[in-house]
Amino acid sequence: MLQKLNFKPGFNKQVTESGAESQWVDGDFVRFRYGLPEKIGGWSQLTSLNRTLPGAARAQHSFVSLEGEKYAAIGTSQGLFLYYNQQFYDITPLDTAITGATFDAASGSATVTVNKTSHGLEEGRYVTFSSVTVPTGSGYAITDFTENTFEITNVTVNAFDIIMPSNSAGTTSGTGSATIDPYVIVGPTFQTANFGWGTSYWGDSTWGTARTATSVVLDPGLWSLDNFGQILTATILNGKTFTWDAGAASPKGRRATVMANAPTKTRLTQVSDRDRHVFHFGTETTIGDTTTQDPMFIRFSNQEDFNTYTPTATNTAGTFRLDKGNVIVGAVSGKDYTLVLTDSSAYVIQFVGPPFTFSVRQVGTNCGLIGQNALSYSNGVVFWMSGEGGFFMYDGTVKAIPCLVEDFVFTTSGDNLGVNYSSSQLIYCEHNTLYNEINWFYPKANTTQINRCVNYNYGEDCWTTSSLSRSSYVDQGVFNNPYATDYDKTLTPNFPIQGISNLFGASIYYAQETGTDQVNSITGTTSINAYIQSGDYDITNSNNIADLRGDGEYIMSVKRFIPDFQVLTGNSKITLLINNYPSDTAASSPLGPFTVSSSTDKIDTRARGRLVALKIENDAIGETWRYGTMRLDAKPDGRR
């Protein structure tokens, strides 16, 4: 007798597979729409020349100039870049200039040695040059130095090497001159434990001893990005704040510069959109004195003026300090408020006008944020992942979100791929408006880069997990599709550094939800192998559906099944996974897996077992599917 198999939307990983009858328990690269699972959309590499960026992208923000020009700012562990008109532009700020350098060059070699006593630069740092006099007889032009950025290698106390675009025409030593302009330091590519000399607790008598273990964790290089009208604001975690004006001129050759009169050491910044103040969170109590940084202290600018931060009787600049928690972790602008999350609590900052400017009120406890970018605002609600376990939302009230994949995400026992708490600052959250989804991309336990995703579909109120790895993500709006970055620590970037290595890896920039496959310049077009698997199904020896006596007691014989797909391009595979007991390892039925096309009407099987689960998958380029339902012809076949 044919029986229709119906399943609830979303994954349930909180129960065993045999306890999840009529539910889905696992999958990869799938989502739910109208209660039914489907393969997610593909992604395709952006930029006309297939450029890749140096380092791991840790922040992304899209905005529009007053002229209607569309920009995406991308902050990586190595620099700050713009995507504009299908091209990348390097707007990384420069650090303090180092004057008085000279050059050594060897005929027929592209390696040039830069001489500067006690230059203080580290291996792999990026530099450019200004005020250049070319080395004698080298044949180089001034622009070879001033219009290129170089990765420095073979670093010694008084010299380092660079790779020029071409070989030197002659040999020279200690000639020419230049000013070295280093790129600003963003921070480590990964979040790591701080080993080495001097790592210890206050008062430890063994201070100065080399360590093999530590509780000290170094934050990765992070950016917080926003826009004040057409002016991009960019803050390095525990560093300076920079601005870049989209209305000034072409982006080529124009770098972000330090925000004048602003604090010089801030955890993150946020623009208060409606009232036009710039917030500095976890910043200095005395502007310009980095030793006064307080991780719970907040300073905000004068209204409509991000260069004025000292409060007076005639402006709206001001300060206040939060009191619940140890550090401000993240913040996001809501409809008419800014939600600020510490490591333990939630606060709402709301503009009230003179004389107080802002009201600050605590709205939640035991709900702290796990990482700076692990929150997102969408459709009147802020969603976030908590370092104290679980997911939360704020819609006027802080609420815990029930989650049927919670153990899988937050614990590492059994088959769970729980989050690596020591790399929690890498977690990136963003909204996908196209499908009413909130995605959290996270590194699983014992890994130091993002390789998992947990997804909450608030329209369907269901959860999925996947291996989709994106180190930054921006929703569609400014652009027609979501844009995201994928980091590869072994990849050598091809923009914008001359003679660059793969020391810091590279980030590929993708347009998401386009086509059915992965398309990039490194691997070409490859399939996205999606699958979904159900919990176990069993039968009773009764024609009465309400009679559940003997549930799972009888072995079933499956003679055939009738597949039903709402969308099926190419082929899909269906596997009936059979076992006799929950503790057994399920195996495919003898004739499976079964290939299904749009013309398949039924599949004959020879399946026999007490429990059967359904798996749907694809594994070829150009394939996509949206499941409908399935009818199974199963009957009792004895007790053993």
Residue 148 sits in a domain whose CATH number is 2.40.30.20
Domain termination site, one of 123, 148, 182 = 182
End-to-end CA distance of the chain: 21
Shared-domain flag, residues 16 and 106:
no
Domain termination site, one of 182, 212, 236 = 182
Write the DSSP string, 331-394.
Answer: EEE-SSSEEEEESSEEEEEEEEETTTEEEEEEEEES--BSSTB-EEEETTEEEEEBTTSSEEEE
Give the chain's mean pLDDT.
92
Query: 550 pLDDT exceeds 60?
Result: no
On whether residue 280 sits in a domain, the answer given is no
Split at pLDDT 50, 70, 90, the class of 581 is: confident
The pTM for the full model equals 0.94
On whether residue 110 sits in a domain, the answer given is yes
Expressed as residue numbers, the domain containing 133 is 98-182
Number of domains in the chain: 2
On whether residue 135 sits in a domain, the answer given is yes
Q: What is the pLDDT of residue 499?
A: 93
Q: What is the pLDDT of residue 144?
A: 97
On whether residue 500 sits in a domain, the answer given is no
On whether residue 360 sits in a domain, the answer given is no
pLDDT 10s digits, 27-49: 999 999 999 999 999 999 999 88
Give residue 191's Cα distance to chain centre: 14
Percent of the chain with pLDDT over 70: 94
Amino acid identity, residue 503?
A: L
**Which residue, chain included where needed, has tokens 């100039």?**
65
CB atoms within 10 A of CB 477: 12
Report how far residue 302's alpha carbon sits from residue 305's, in angstroms, rounded to the nearest whole number. Answer: 5
Give the pair of three-digit tokens for residue 427.
């977690």
Shared-domain flag, residues 106 and 25:
no
Question: Which strand (E) or helix (H) includes residue 217?
Answer: strand 217-218
On whether residue 351 sits in a domain, the answer given is no
Domain termination site, one of 164, 182, 200 = 182
Contact between residue 405 and residue 454 where contact means Cβ atoms under 8 Å apart = yes
Contact between residue 288 and residue 262 where contact means Cβ atoms under 8 Å apart = no
Cα-flanking dihedrals φ and ψ of residue 143, to 5°?
-65, -20
On whether residue 268 sits in a domain, the answer given is no
Per DSSP bridges, beta strands 43-45 and 517-520 are parallel
On whether residue 593 sits in a domain, the answer given is yes
pLDDT 10s digits, 161-185: 999 999 999 999 999 999 999 999 9
Split at pLDDT 50, 70, 90, the class of 194 is: low
Query: What does the buried/exposed string (b/e) look like for 346-382 if buried means 16 or more CB atoms within 10 Å of the residue's CB?
Result: bbbbebeeeeebbeeebbbeebbbbbbbbbbbbeebb
Shared-domain flag, residues 21 and 103:
no
